[in-house]
Chain A
Amino acid sequence: MNSLWQYRVRNIFSIGIICLSFLIVGIFFSLSNNLQYLANQLSENMVVVFFLDPGVSPQQLGLVEEKIKAAPAVIHLRYISREQALERFRKNFPELEEILKNLSSNPFPASFEATLRKEAFMSAEIPAFIRQVKGMAGVEDVQFNRDWVDKMQSLSRLAKAIGFLLGGILVLASFFIISNVIRLNVFARKNEIEILRLVGATNTFIRLPFLLEGLTLGILGSTLSLILLFLLVRLFPLYLGHSLGALQQMISFRYLSLAQSLGLIGGSALMGFMGSLTSLARFLKI
């Protein structure tokens, strides 16, 4: 610890670099978490809306209803008449009331709203089922937002991959920085090391402080990055509050999970330790 303070400028520099590297990794992980969360939110209570032809006959209506109800993925089915659809629009968008008044007829089609089971939502059978229903007489169109969820999940995976790639490069850079900082510390304490050798210190006794230094630098750097990330996650929605509008209600910014946080600290500690070890192996021939 004395040595950390003694060579504080270079140690602070290396902590800063480690912090920055792990902050970038953390940001991408957090982004990935948020996208994944959003995808989960979207897939929860996911509804497929089957819009019906205005001229659908009661027979056709019955067949369509039976077909949808028979699907094991459907847990709830609701019929929305044209009047109900109009009423719902009025309720949700009262500011557009004037437009509705100017309309001579009800433009909203009747529909079936089928709520899918969460686990069935992403299954391969769903598109086939939707296609079948869409092909039935009396069904005009289908609205199903699985594409959005797919996109969210792809983005989440992409963010994680970028996090790993960019993080890998930056962590490697941090590794070399720690290695070089320890090397400088070894050179700065050359006299001390020599004296320790003369008074009979074991190799472990001489190496241990340097290894602990690397470990501490790693832990301090990553802990600082997690604190900064926490602040970012907390402050970002405040900053974007107005521009997000209604979305702010929907998007709840997520921090890293405990396992991810511990993983980052552990990885950083390991990196610091290995950086030290490499440096000692190369520059401390004892």
Chain B
Amino acid sequence: MIELYHIWKQYQEGQWALTDISLYVKRGDFWFITGPSGSGKSTLLKIIFREILPTRGQIVVDSVNVLRLHDHKIYRLRRTMGIVFQDFRLLFHKKVFDNVALGLHVLGTPMKEIRRRVFNALRMVNLHQKMWEYPSHLSYGEQQRVAIARAVVNEPQILLADEPTGNLDPELAFEIISVFKEINKQGTTVIICSHDKELIRHFGDKILFLFKGKIIGKEVLPSSKN
């Protein structure tokens, strides 16, 4: 599903954010990428969704060489992915419904279908009753669930999350990762960057450990379905 071959990334001369990263993520996998701040987790994620380009290496997502993708065709890659951020990135002047519907509007989905899918996505994160509220009226945990609903509403093959629980207390963090687990059970490949050891210990079955841009370990627990 996602193949990373010897990925190197340099932001400044002499400073490598990523060093020779290779990884193979199978369809339906649930991966945690962990490591301390500055270890390169977010950089790796950004390379996967083609926000930035690696300095060296190759990346293939669903048989498409991401580096050969023209700028004006990046949207095709993005439509196969859902992305969740630590800061939620919601539009606070739009209602919950409109925030979630955004990903469907860009696909030109008919309004009737948008209503159905937004409702289903919000029901999955247990927020369907707050569909017509503004994000500012919701708690942090609820806001993050809106962001997750937005990421999964167009049923992406891959769900990427960059520190999705970074702003949440442990209880809410567990709740959020449980939602990701549920989504993964339906066949979506999930990659989460997190430095929360407690969460990883509880939910992680495939874990990539990064330190200063290098892989210092990979762990595939026996409980992992793959």
Contact = CB atoms under 8 A, between A and B. Distances in A.
B106 A202 contact: yes
B102 A195 contact: yes
Overall SS of chain A's interface: helix
Contacts of A129: none
A200 B106 contact: yes
B7 interface: no
A37 to B, nearest CB: 52
Contacts of B9: none
A205 B106 contact: yes
A205 to B, nearest CB: 6
A200 B91 contact: no
A192 interface: yes
Interface in B61-79: 71-72, 74-79
B89 A202 contact: no
Interface residues of B, number: 20
A197 to B, nearest CB: 7
Interface in B3-43: none
A212 to B, nearest CB: 15
Nearest to B71: A286
A55 to B, nearest CB: 93
A198 B45 CA distance: 13
A111 B90 CA distance: 90
B146 interface: no
B201 interface: no
Contact of B83 (A191, A198, A205, A286): A198
Contacts of B81: 200
Chain A interface size, under 10 / 10 to 19 / 20 to 34 / 35 or more: 10 to 19
B85 to A, nearest CB: 9
A205 B79 CA distance: 14
Nearest to A197: B78
Contacts of A198: 49, 78, 83, 89
Interface string A129-157: 00000000000000000000000000000
Given A195-B102, A205-B106, A200 B89 contact: no
Interface string A114-131: 000000000000000000
B77 to A, nearest CB: 8
A199 B89 contact: no
Contacts of B154: 199-200
A132 B79 CA distance: 87
A2 B50 CA distance: 30
Q: Taking each of A191, A199, A201, A286, which has the highest tally of chain B beta carbons within 10 Å of its own beta carbon?
A: A199
B150 A199 contact: yes
A198 to B, nearest CB: 5
B202 interface: no
Nearest to B153: A199
B54 interface: no
A198 B72 CA distance: 13
B107 interface: yes
Nearest to A204: B72
Contacts of B150: 199
B91 A199 contact: no
Given A198-B78, A200-B106, A203-B72, 9 more contacts: A194-B89, A195-B102, A196-B102, A197-B78, A199-B78, A199-B103, A200-B103, A202-B75, A205-B106
30 contacts: A191-B89, A191-B91, A194-B89, A195-B89, A196-B102, A196-B106, A197-B74, A197-B78, A198-B49, A198-B78, A198-B83, A198-B89, A199-B79, A199-B102, A199-B103, A200-B75, A200-B76, A200-B77, A200-B79, A200-B81, A200-B103, A200-B107, A200-B154, A201-B106, A202-B72, A202-B106, A203-B72, A203-B75, A205-B106, A286-B71
